[in-house]
Chains A and B, each alone.
Chain A
Amino acid sequence: MPRDLVIRASTGDHDAFASLATDAYGRLHRTAQLILRRDDLASDAVQEALTSAWLHIRAVRNPDRFDAWLNRLVVRACYHELRRAKRGPIQIQVDSIHGPGTDDSASALADRDQLERGFQHLSAEHRAVLVVHHYLGLPDAEAAKVMDIPIGTYKSRLNRAHTSLRAALEADERAAGVAQESIA
């Protein structure tokens, strides 16, 4: 993230902003997609975050923190999208999982499917905290800022998210076991 681009953008240079937005777009969209689990909502959230970023670009104080700021905007935009989506009909779209490894063994595929199902069962806040921690890889203090919550809240929420995911995975295993027994 070139500092000079951020500085130029913060003076109103839209071309510089477009370059920054293009560079960050993949990460922002992936973050939103992981939190929202719906491509259409993720696209709306990213668009909202980028629009807001431009409107507030003159508030940039430290160019080195621009990416962190964008992360925060997109996480908040995700929450906003979820609130909007709750008011309208929800179209559940379960995306298939295609990891980078193409030599998936059956067990690896099963693991990923199980994770996908477990992840779907989490609340958006828990998904968000897991995405910020595991996908964006932010240190706790910065992750708490991105989430706009105190660091203590962040840590406890992250812990609860792990616990919830583990519980969801165990429930999924039990359900699979019952299904196998009934087939047998």
Chain B
Amino acid sequence: MTAQNDLEGTLGAWLHGDATTTPPPEPLARAIESTRSVRPRPALVALIGSSWIGAGETNVVRGGIANLRPGIAVISLAAALVVAVVLGATLVRSPVVGPGATSSPSASSSTSPSPAPTEAAGGDFGTPLPSYKTFANPAYGWSVSYNADWSVFDDPFLAGPHGVTQFVPWNAGQLFVLVGGPGAGAPKPCSGCGTFRSRAVDDLAVEVLEFLRLENVNPPASSELPRTIGRDSLDGEDARYGYQTYPPNGHDFPSRDFVFVAIHGRRQYVIVLTPNIADGAEADWFPKFAHDLRFTTP
């Protein structure tokens, strides 16, 4: 064939010819929609995992940092530490209260000027947390303390009510409290989803983690994910604390999803954290947040 004589030219023409079909619009729409509510990672964190092609011959991760002269690197680090310490001290003295809570009429929140039992959780976000609020949901029968600079969206799905409250910690991903209604007993984990079916707390932990796995854009195989489930308690009720670790997929960070589950009064209580950055701090503050949950009478 003629391509044997001019393989490269023919191949180039063929590739461009082959590529003239119009791509389906759905993947673009899905990508735009799925990223709309996700916050980009902070610059430094994004830089490490981004496969970035920099301006020079070397990329940032392998070349840029490595090529820094040791002296400059040390001075830069020391300067950054000093700035961080000064900023931290300043902010601790002058508490910053964030956007506060947005809640439905069925829920209420109150601000506590003094640190709640979750005080240690504050610093884990890298920001001082001067005050706490209590979110109470009398309709579903629970309350919890949370950092005052978080946002709260009760029943965030459009086709509610689902028994879901979303907390948005500063730069720490998505935190949901899902509680079954007094009648149904099981929350809907997302719009269009069914409900969790498990009636035993052990099974519920597995079911929730499996749900989180499948919620990924490209779900890894279940067998790929190291999954840990341990015994715990929420407000004196038998509970399970679990997490599963997602391996890096070539250009992404390893990350973890965390859950607490309990069954109280035949109703499911599920607390889920899906971080959008992997800094490891979640493992400390998330249990503290969950342990502040209190069961109330709906």
| B24 and A72 contact, CB distance less than 8 A | no
Instruction: Give the CA-CA distance A66 to B55 in the complex, in Å.
Output: 10
Contact A46 B218 (CB under 8 A): no
- Would you call A130 an interface residue if the criterion is a C-beta within 8 Å of the partner chain's C-beta atoms? yes
The interface residues of chain A lying within 8 Å CB-to-CB of B57 are 141
- Shortest A179–chain B CB gap in Å is 15
A14 touches B35 (CB 8 A): yes
Contacts of B14 in A (CB 8 A): 97, 99, 111-112, 115-116
Min CB distance B10 to A, Å, is 7
Residue of A nearest to B223 (CB): A87
Stretch at the interface among B44-52, B83-91, B96-104: B44-52
* Interface contact B54-A33, CB-CB below 8 Å: no
Q: Is B75 part of the binding interface, using a Cβ–Cβ cutoff of 8 Å?
A: no
Task: Say which residue of A52, A54, A170 sits within 8 Å of B252 (CB atoms).
Answer: A52
How far, in angstroms, from A16 to B24 measured CA to CA in the complex? 21
Residues of A contacting B27 in the complex (Cβ-Cβ under 8 angstroms): 25, 29, 43-44, 46-47, 50
Q: How many of A's residues come within 8 Å of B, CB to CB?
A: 71
B4 at the A interface (CB under 8 A): yes
Q: In the complex, which residues 35-86 of chain A have their Cβ closer than 8 Å to any Cβ of chain B?
A: 39, 42-44, 46-48, 50-52, 54-62, 64-65, 68-69, 72-73, 76-77, 79-81, 84
**Would B218 and A48 count as touching, CB distance under 8 A?**
yes
Chain A residue nearest to B22 (CB atoms) is A26
Q: Are A165 and B7 in contact (CB under 8 A)?
A: yes
Chain B, interface residues (CB within 8 Å), range: 35 or more
Cβ-based interface call for B41 (8 A): yes
Smallest Cβ-Cβ distance to A136: which chain B residue: B15
Residue among A62, A68, A107, A115 with the highest chain B CB neighbour number at 10 A: A115
Kindly state whether residue A145 has any CB partner on chain B within 8 Å.
yes
Q: Is B159 engaged at the interface, CB distance under 8 Å to the other chain?
A: no
Within 8 A of B (CB), among A99-154: 99-101, 107, 110-112, 114-116, 130-131, 134-135, 141-142, 145-146, 148
B80 to chain A, nearest CB (A): 17
User: Given A17-B35, A72-B53, does the pair A50, B28 have CB atoms closer than 8 Å?
Assistant: yes
Contact of A33 among B23, B59, B218 (CB under 8 A): B23
Across the interface, which residues of A come within 8 angstroms of B43, CB to CB? 58-59
B94 contacts the other chain (CB 8 A): no
Partner of A65, one of B10, B11, B28, B55: B55
Contact (Cβ within 8 A) A51 B4: no
Q: Which residues of B contact A7 (CB under 8 A)?
A: none
Asked whether any CB of chain A lies closer than 8 Å to the CB of B105, the reply is no
**Contact B49 A56, beta carbon cutoff 8 Å:** yes
Contact A134 B52 (CB under 8 A): no
* Contact assessment for A55 and B41 in the assembled complex, using a CB-CB cutoff below 8 Å: yes
Best-surrounded residue of A12, A57, A58, A131 (most CB of chain B within 10 A): A58
Q: A154 to B140: give the CA distance in the assembly, Å.
A: 60
Q: A residues near B, CB below 8 A?
A: 12, 14, 17-18, 21-22, 25-26, 29-30, 33-34, 39, 42-44, 46-48, 50-52, 54-62, 64-65, 68-69, 72-73, 76-77, 79-81, 84, 87, 97-101, 107, 110-112, 114-116, 130-131, 134-135, 141-142, 145-146, 148, 162, 165-166, 169-170, 173
Q: List 23 A-B contacts (CB under 8 A).
A: A25-B28, A43-B24, A46-B23, A50-B28, A51-B217, A54-B35, A55-B38, A55-B46, A57-B40, A59-B46, A60-B52, A61-B52, A69-B52, A76-B250, A79-B250, A87-B221, A98-B17, A99-B17, A100-B16, A100-B20, A107-B2, A145-B59, A169-B7
Q: Lowest 6 CB-CB distances: which A-B pairs, in order?
A: A99-B17, A29-B23, A56-B50, A50-B31, A59-B46, A43-B27
Which residues from chain B sit less than 8 Å from chain A, CB to CB?
Answer: 1-4, 7-8, 10-24, 26-28, 30-32, 34-36, 38-43, 46-47, 49-55, 57, 59-60, 217-218, 220-221, 249-252, 276
Q: A58-B40, A114-B3 are in contact. List 18 more A-B contacts (CB 8 A).
A: A25-B27, A29-B24, A33-B19, A46-B31, A47-B27, A50-B27, A50-B28, A50-B31, A50-B32, A55-B41, A57-B46, A65-B53, A65-B54, A84-B218, A100-B20, A112-B14, A130-B15, A131-B15
